[in-house]
Amino acid sequence: MVNPDVVGAIARLRAEGVLSSVQAARFERVARRGLVSLRFEIRALLYAGVLLVTAGVGSLIARHQQEIGPVAIALGVGLAALGCLAWVGRRAAPFSWGPVPSPGVAFDYVLLLGLLLAAADLAYVEAQFAILGPRWPRHLVVVAALDLLAAYTWDSRTALGLALTSLAAWRGVVVGLAPALLGPGIAADLRANAIALGALSLAVAVASARLGRKPHFESVYAPAGLLLLLGGLLGGTLYDAQAWTLWLLATLIVAGLVMVVAVRLRRSLYFALGVPAAYVALVRLLFEPFRYGSHADSLPLLLSAGLGAGVLALILAVHRRVREE
C-alpha cells in the first residue's frame, strides 16, 4: 500500500534536513509503492514447495512401497537427501561461530528439504529393517545429531529447532505449551525427561551466549528449554497428587528465577514464559482447599481473579522498570 503518512513525513524530514535528498528519494519511492519487495512471496512459495515435495514423497512411499521395494525407496530418498545437502555444502559460506548470512534465498529451503528427507529416510529404514530393534526410537537421536551438525555447520536456526524437537521426541516429549497444561497429564518419567532436557537446553543457551559460540542460537535454545523445564515442573504441580506441593515450590522458585534473570537480561519472552507458569501453579494452590467440596464454589474463582490482578500489577510494574532502565 502507498503509505501517505510516511510519504508526508519524508517530505517534512527532507525539508528540515533530517534526511538527505538521496535517503528521502529512496524511502519515498518505497513508501509510494514505486519499488515493491517480493521477498516474502518468494520465501513463502519456497516454503510451500518444500512442504508439498515432502508430502509427495511420503505419499509415494505409503502407496507404492510394495511395487517399488524398500531398498529402492531407502536408496532413492537417501540420495535425494544427500543431493540437497551436497548442494547446500557447495553453496555455504565459510564456517563462523558468529551469525553467517545466507548465501541465497533458496539455501535455507534446500537445507530444510534435505534434512526432512534424511529424517524420513532414517525412519523408513528403521521401520522396514528394524536395525535398532526394540530401541528403535534411538533413530531420533541420529536425526537430532544430523540436524545439530547441520545447524552449526550452516548456521541454521531452523535445523537447530528440528534437532531439539527430535531429541525431545526421542525422550517421548513434545516441545510446546499445550500438552502439560491441557492434556490428561504426563507420566513421571516423561516429566523427568522434560525437566532434564529443558535444563540441558538452558545450560547450552547460557554457554552459547557466554562463550560466544553461536550466541544467536540462544534465541532457540532458551525458549525451548524454558518450555520443557517449566512444562515439566507444572505437570508435576497439576498431576502429581502425592508430591504436588514440592512441585509447586520448585515451579515457583524456577519461575521466579526465570523472571528475575529475564528482567536483568531484558528478555521479555522469557519473562512472558515464567509468569504464566507461576500463575497456574498458584491457581492450583488456591483451588486445593475447595477440591473436596460437595458443590461448585465461586470463591476460588474470585481468588484466582484477585491473584490475576496482582500478577497484572506485577507485569505492569516490571515493564515500567525495564522501560526506565
Q: Which of residues 42-61 bind other proteins (CB under 8 A)?
A: 42-61
Of 133-141, 204-212, 234-242, 251-259, which part binds other proteins (CB under 8 A)?
133-141
Query: SS3 of 122, please?
Result: helix
Given a contact cutoff of 8 angstroms between Cβ atoms, the answer to whether 160 and 214 are in contact is no
C-alpha span between 40 and 37 (Å, rounded)? 8
The minimum distance between CB 181 and other proteins, in angstroms, equals 12
* Comparison of 126 and 218: residue with beta carbon closer to other proteins: 126
Of 25-33, 88-96, 206-214, 251-259, the segment contacting other proteins by CB under 8 A is 25-33
State which of residues 11, 12, 95, 212 lies at the interface with other proteins (CB under 8 A): 12
Q: Which is nearer to other proteins, 246 or 277 (CB)?
A: 277
Grid cell listed for 193:
525427561
| 220 near other proteins, rule: CB under 8 A | yes
Q: Is the dihedral of CA 44, 49, 55, 58 positive or negative?
A: negative
Which one of residues 124, 221, 239, 244 is an interface residue with other proteins (CB under 8 A)?
124
What is Dmax (Cα atoms) for the chain? 76
CA angle 156, 160, 163 (to 5 degrees): 140
Query: Which grid cell sits at 80?
Result: 535425494
Could you tell me which stretch among 6-14, 84-92, 230-238, 243-251 binds other proteins (CB under 8 A)?
6-14
Task: Report d(CA 228, CA 177) in Å as an integer.
Answer: 9
Question: Could you say which residues in the range 137-166 bind other proteins, by CB under 8 A?
Answer: 137, 139-140, 143, 157-158, 161-162, 164-166
> Which of 88, 97, 119, 277 lies at the binding interface for other proteins (CB under 8 A)?
119
Compute how many other C-beta atoms are within 10 angstroms of the C-beta atom of residue 282.
Answer: 21
Residues 6+ apart with CB under 8 A from 66: none
Return the residues of window 243-302 that contact other proteins according to CB under 8 A.
Answer: 268-269, 271-272, 275-276, 279, 296-299, 301-302
| Shorter beta-carbon distance to other proteins: residue 11 or 246 | 11
**Cα distance between residue 121 and residue 54, in whole Å:** 11
**Cβ closer to other proteins: 94 or 295?**
295
CB 283 within 8 A of CB 304: yes
Tell me whether residue 212 or residue 306 sits nearer to other proteins (CB atom): 306
Which of 122, 202, 204, 229 contacts other proteins by CB under 8 A?
A: 122
The smaller minimum CB distance to other proteins, of residues 229 and 263, is found at 263
Q: Is 90 in the site for other proteins (CB under 8 A)?
A: no
Q: How far apart are CA 237 and CA 230, in angstroms?
A: 10
- Asked if residue 278 lies in contact with residue 257, where contact means CB atoms within 8 angstroms, the answer is no
Q: What does residue 118 show for φ and ψ, rounded to 5 degrees?
A: -65, -45
Q: Binding of other proteins at residue 305 (CB under 8 A)?
A: yes
Shortest distance, CB of residue 246 to other proteins, whole angstroms? Answer: 25
Minimum Å gap between C-beta 236 and other proteins is 19
Q: Does 63 bind other proteins (CB under 8 A)?
A: yes
Query: Residue 51 or 207: which CB sits closer to other proteins?
Result: 51
Sequence-distant (6+) residues with CB within 8 A of 137 are 169, 170, 172
